[in-house]
A and B are shown apart, each in its own frame.
Chain A
Amino acid sequence: MYLYNEFDQTLVNERVEQFRDQTKRFLSGDLTEEQFRPLRLMNGLYIQTHAPMLRVNIPYGLLSSKQLRMFAHIAHKYDKDYGHFTTRQNIQYNWPALEQVPDILADLASVQMHAIQSSGSCIRNVTSDPLAGVCADEIEDPRPYCEIIRQWSTLHPEFSYLPRKFKIAVSGSPKDRAATQVHDIGLHVKKDANGNIGFEVLVGGGLGRTPVIGQTINSFIAEADLLSYLEAILRTYNRFGRRDNKYKARIKILVRETGLDKFKEQVEAEWASIRNGELTLSAEEIQRVKHFFTPFKYETSTDEVLEQHLENSGLFRQWFKQNTKEHKQTGYRVVFLSLKSPNRAPGDVTTEQMEQVADMADRYSFGQIRTTHDQNLAFTDVKSSDLYALWQQLQEQDLATANIGTITDMICCPGLDFCSLANASSIDIAQGITDRFTESAIDMGDISLKMSGCMNGCGHHSIGEIGILGVDKKGEQWYQLTLGGSDSHQSKLGDRLGKAIAKDSVVDAIDDIVQVYKENRTENEKFATTLKRIGLKPFKDRVYDAH
């Protein structure tokens, strides 16, 4: 993985001291709340319902065991012994004290981590495919490019007071596991006819109040031009993006109001004047960064031990089938650690779990951990002969719930329990769904369920096959259901099922939806396929006749 050089380390160290001074000035009254706000946000700090929330970047979802141990240390020392992994591969702490945040940032800097621009109207942490570098269908490992983007965007002087936040995701595979189509900019690694690497650039995607699928603005830009093209888009957005209404300030609205063709014209006129300038990436620079992501030294291994364990244990077999994935290297598997156990809120991890996961990573997966867009963790390089032993240890830590991809592996925001924006709770609904479906989840196959406590959509409800959106109706919590969304390589927004449903009927309504699917599915047919075949109506009839 990438290791900081002296420049990177000095930057994060000095940033910590800068924020220490800003925090001190705020606490002494020298900075107003309005002036302090963008400064704290650009260091990851929100003011939430109960306490500040600190969001720490995990660049493109890649962590070392040492870094994860530091997360555990922070959870223990400054928080309530847990952290929450987000859909953008970051971690959030819900209970730090404002005065201690500079110390937390200093601890993070000591392991080459930071919270710079994890919030605020600036370029956020760049996200990517959690299987980058190990999946068989990859065109090229996207992580070196993510790192290049991270360095370019960090403390970018021109783009730190944008109209609104700005999110970039990069995928190196045709199968999109990074939700690139719902990002302000989505980048798909491509190769041209001569084998040269470049990117298809998507622009204007996003969730939130106005969910939009991103559109292709350029079908191939050469890798050397990556940063100048991004800079041209950002400059156009910074100049012309709306600043009169924060709900219309994202780039998706600018693209829609300007029209894609005209917007492209503006971007490419800008690009023409900066292309081949100082932002041009040299082959040497790309190679330098790529060098940090060379594949591990894999051993040759057979699946004999694995086969035997698979034969002997049904539970192990079930976990293997559900929670592991093929690796491009024979004899290795990708292992997902489910953070969707029935016993915890989705995405939450305790101090103890983080420490144990760090140890397991050292022992079984080259000391690295990935965070996923679905709020789980992954060991991407596990020898198949180690799988059984690993499974046993994961079970001890309650990280082996065999539910990856199923209805109980849901994406869920913190909701009304923590977030000051939320209209409705999501954690208790998630708990209800988990209780109801834990037994039957595997039988139902892959169903992506995503839930947000308000229309800002942090739980990505619009692209869930089943989407749940919390809404406020005269002080009561109601829930709007959508069906048929998708975050795959052909992202799609879900269709509204009907009017909002009262809180105590939500789990029953989900059950009705699942029953309609089960009654109508043909053998091995997935939920999304059945829905496409029979349409919304049977689901609608069942849910609204019953409630």
Chain B
Amino acid sequence: MTLIKNKQIIDDSWHYQAAEQDLHGSHNIVDLAYWQANKSDLISEKSSLGLLVDGNEGLESFIDDLQYFSLIAINFPTFADGRGYSLAKTLREQCKYAQELRATGDILPDQALYLARVGFDVLELANEKSAQLALSKLDEFSIF
């Protein structure tokens, strides 16, 4: 996995929780089910927390909790499933969510610009080669 932020490749300081016990000290990204089941514990830890949701997730299931997340990662189950674009746009424009918004899952370098234009500031590409290509794709249009 290779990350792009501000048109640069960056190291990932975040950790996706893989199993129930798999939590680091800070900067964990948990999925929605785990968040909902462990909300009060996670809040009391007061460490930076990220939330992973699918693009088709209804905003209503976490809209009241946005204040707790330093990062929201939106998963694209397939690159052709465009629901994540609307979710991102809504989070940015209507909820005024200003922290990191990350696109993860099946995203293609050719989609980088559209993802950036709806408000994603971090893109997770499959590998270094894809990330390099995505970087060039972000600069393809001088008008955006």
Q: Which residues of A are in contact with B by a Cβ distance under 8 Å? A: 7, 10-11, 14-15, 17-18, 22, 35, 38-39, 121, 155, 157-163, 235, 238-239, 243, 273-274, 277
- On whether the beta carbons of A10 and B142 are closer than 8 Å, the reply is yes
Known: A14-B140, A274-B94. A158 touches B83 (CB 8 A): no
Q: How far is the CB of A155 from chain B (nearest CB, A)?
A: 8
Query: Which B residue's beta carbon lies closest to that of A35?
Result: B108
A287 and B125 CA atoms in complex are apart in Å by: 44
Given the complex, which residues of B lie within 8 Å of A17, measured CB to CB? 140
Q: Is the CB of B80 within 8 A of A11?
A: no
Contact B82 A38 (CB under 8 A): no
Q: What are 28 of the A-B contact pairs (CB < 8 Å)?
A: A14-B143, A15-B141, A22-B110, A35-B79, A35-B108, A38-B79, A38-B80, A155-B144, A157-B85, A157-B113, A157-B117, A158-B82, A158-B85, A158-B86, A158-B89, A158-B118, A159-B82, A159-B85, A160-B82, A161-B82, A162-B82, A235-B90, A238-B82, A239-B56, A239-B87, A243-B81, A243-B83, A274-B93
CB within 8 Å of A: which B116-144 residues: 117-118, 137, 140-144
B141 touches A238 (CB 8 A): no
Which one of B82, B108, B114 has the greatest number of beta carbons of chain A within 10 Å? B82
Residues of B within 8 A of A7 (CB): 143
Contact status of A238 and B94, CB under 8 A, knowing A7-B143, A18-B140, A158-B118: no
Alpha-carbon gap, A430 to B94, bound state (A): 53
Q: Which residues of A contact B115 (CB under 8 A)?
A: 157
A11 partner residues in chain B, CB cutoff 8 A? 141, 143
Cβ contacts B99-118/A at 8 Å (1 or 0 each): 00000000010100111011
Name 17 extra pairs, CB < 8 A, besides A10-B143, A157-B85, A157-B115.
A11-B141, A18-B137, A155-B114, A155-B141, A157-B113, A158-B114, A159-B82, A159-B85, A160-B85, A161-B81, A161-B82, A161-B85, A162-B82, A163-B82, A238-B86, A239-B83, A277-B93
Contact partner of B85 among A14, A163, A238, A273, CB < 8 A? A238
Contact of B118 among A38, A157, A277 (CB under 8 A): A157
Chain A residues with Cβ below 8 Å from B80 are 38, 121, 161
Q: A161 contacts which chain B residues (CB < 8 A)?
A: 79-82, 85
CA distance A238 to B89 in the complex (A): 12
- Smallest CB-CB separation from A8: which chain B residue? B143
Bound Cα distance from A455 to B93, whole angstroms:
41
Give the shortest distance, in Å, between B123 (CB) and chain A (any CB).
Answer: 13
A239 near B86 with CB under 8 A, answer: yes
Q: How far is the CB of A485 from chain B (nearest CB, A)?
A: 33
CA distance A425 to B22 in the complex (A): 61
> What residues of chain A lie closer than 8 Å to B81, measured between beta carbons?
161, 243
Nearest A residue to B115 via CB reads: A157
Docked complex Cα distance between A39 and B140 (Å): 15
Task: For the complex, give the distance between the alpha carbons of A18 and B140 in Å.
Answer: 7
Cα separation A161 to B87 with both chains bound (whole Å):
13
Residues in B whose Cβ lies below 8 Å from that of A15: 141
Task: Report if A273-B94 is in contact (Cβ < 8 Å); known contacts: A158-B118, A239-B83.
Answer: yes
Min CB gap B98→A, angstroms? 17
> Which of A14, A35, A157, A243: most chain B CB closer than 10 A?
A157
Residues of B contacting A273 in the complex (Cβ-Cβ under 8 angstroms):
94
CB distance from A84 to the nearest CB of B (A): 28
How far is B87's CA from A337's CA once the two chains are assembled, in angstroms?
A: 48
Residues of A within 8 A of B117 (CB): 157
Q: How far is the CB of B55 from chain A (nearest CB, A)?
A: 9
Contacts of A239 in B (CB 8 A): 56, 83, 86-87
In the complex, residue of chain B having the shortest beta-carbon distance to the beta carbon of A161? B82
In the complex, residue of chain B having the shortest beta-carbon distance to the beta carbon of A17: B140
**Cβ–Cβ contact B114 & A160, under 8 A:** yes
Q: Which 8 A-B pairs have the closest CB atoms?
A: A161-B82, A157-B117, A157-B114, A158-B85, A238-B86, A14-B141, A18-B140, A157-B118
A38–B83 alpha-carbon span in the complex (Å):
16
Given A22-B110, A158-B118: A238 and B143 interface contact (C-beta under 8 Å): no
CB distance from A161 to the nearest CB of B (A): 3
> With A121-B80, A238-B85, A274-B94 in contact, do A39 and B143 touch (Cβ < 8 Å)?
no
Chain A residue numbers with a CB within 8 Å of B89 are 158, 235
Which residue of chain B has the shortest Cβ distance to A15 in the bound complex?
B141
Q: Which residue of A lies closest to B110 (CB)?
A: A39
Complex CA distance for A17 and B137, rounded to whole angstroms: 11
Q: Report A-chain residues with C-beta under 8 Å of the C-beta of B79.
A: 35, 38, 161
Q: Which chain A positions have C-beta within 8 A of B141?
A: 10-11, 14-15, 18, 155
A463 to B117, CA, bound (A): 40
Within the assembled complex, what's the spacing in Å between the Cα atoms of A163 and B82?
A: 8
Q: How far is the CA of A163 from the CA of B81 in the complex (A)?
A: 7
Residue of A nearest to B89 (CB): A158
One digit per residue, 1 when the CB lies within 8 angstroms of any chain A CB and 0 when it does not, for chain B 54-83 equals 001000000000000000000000011111
Q: How far is the CA of A238 from the CA of B86 in the complex (A)?
A: 7
- How far is it, in angstroms, between the C-alpha of A283 and the C-alpha of B55 when the chains are bound? 36
Q: Complex Cα distance A7/B143, Å?
A: 7
A35 to B142 alpha-carbon distance, docked (Å): 24
B114 CB → nearest A CB, Å: 4
Residue of A nearest to B82 (CB): A161
Q: How far is the CB of A237 from chain B (nearest CB, A)?
A: 9
* B114 proximity list for chain A (CB < 8 A): 155, 157-158, 160
Instruction: Report B-chain residues with C-beta under 8 Å of the C-beta of A121.
Output: 80, 82
Q: A22-B110, A35-B108 are in contact. Are A238 and B83 (CB under 8 A)?
A: yes
* A209 CA / B6 CA spacing, docked (Å): 45
Q: Which residues of A contact B137 (CB under 8 A)?
A: 18
User: B93 → chain A, closest Cβ, in Å?
Assistant: 7
Interchain CB contact under 8 A, B140 and A235? no
Name the residue on B nearest A241 (C-beta).
Answer: B83
B57 → A minimal CB distance (Å): 10
Which residues of B are found within 8 Å of A159, using beta-carbon distances?
Answer: 82, 85
Q: Please, how many angstroms separate the alpha-carbon atoms of A202 and B59 in the complex? A: 27
Report Cα–Cα, A159/B88, bound state, in Å.
12
